Amino acid sequence: MRRRLRSGLTIFGFFTAAGLLMFGYRYLEYVANRETVSAWDPFINEVFTGAWTAAALFPLVLRFARRYPPGRANLERVPLHIAALLTYSAAHTTLLWFFRRLLYPLFGLGHYDYGIMIARYPMEFSHDVVVYCVMVSIIYLFDRQVRAAQLEAKLASARLENLRLQLQPTSCSMR
């Protein structure tokens, strides 16, 4: 339980940090263009909705990526990942719309208009492709590192057992 909580907080922290970086970029873009905007606007867009909805969807991507790992030997899984990406993007875009419509009035920003939704889905898709690919890549690389560490630990254990057998050959034959 404690390890899961720590993992969840780490993931939440990672997505929050990414959202804060995007917030900084977006807010400074307004400043650089001499546009007046409440800091809450890009904060809600990039952290509250953008990053945190991606974080909420991450466990589903994690489960899927581990069940259907990508790789050269698994090229038949590419269509599955394309379907998962499309699903992720549709869910993420819908959650963006929902939470922004909810949060804008709460923060005194008035009614939120996401524009024409039929255009928003493909617009957000390009961003979601990058996010999904980064998530799956991190999962894949992390799992590879864990497997490599486990194999190294097994190898070290086998070497130690081999050394023990060399030092005490008779005690092992008596077992």
Task: Output the pLDDT for position 90.
Answer: 97
Q: How far apart are CA 73 and CA 101, in angstroms?
A: 44
Kindly state the average pLDDT of the residues 119-129. 96
Q: Are 114 and 149 in contact (CB under 8 A)?
A: no
**Domains of the chain: which residue ranges?**
2-167
Structure confidence at residue 54 as a pLDDT band (50, 70, 90): very high
Kindly state the average pLDDT of the residues 116-127. 95
Encode pLDDT of 2-29 as tens digits.
988 898 899 999 999 999 999 999 999 9
Q: Return the higher-pLDDT residue of 72 and 109.
A: 109
Task: Output the pLDDT for position 171.
Answer: 57
Q: Is the pLDDT of residue 174 over 60?
A: no
Q: Is the pLDDT of residue 72 over 80?
A: no
**Minimum mean pLDDT range among 55-69, 104-118, 160-174:** 160-174
Taking Cα atoms as reference points, which of 73, 46, 56, 64 lies closest to residue 136?
64
What sign results for the dihedral spanned by CA atoms 124, 127, 133, 134?
Answer: negative
Q: How far apart are CA 19 and CA 87, in angstroms?
A: 21
Task: Output the pLDDT for position 131.
Answer: 96
Q: How far apart are CA 23 and CA 14, in angstroms?
A: 14
Taking Cα atoms as reference points, which of 111, 109, 124, 113 lies closest to residue 39?
109
Encode pLDDT of 101-112 as tens digits.
999 999 999 999
Q: Are 94 and 122 in contact (CB under 8 A)?
A: no
Task: Output the pLDDT for position 94.
Answer: 97
CB atoms within 10 A of CB 48: 19
How far is the first Cα of the chain from the last one, in angstroms, to the nearest whole number?
39
At a CB cut-off of 8 Å and minimum separation 6, what does 124 contact?
89, 92, 93, 96
Task: Output the pLDDT for position 143.
Answer: 82
Q: How far apart are CA 4 and CA 70, in angstroms?
A: 24
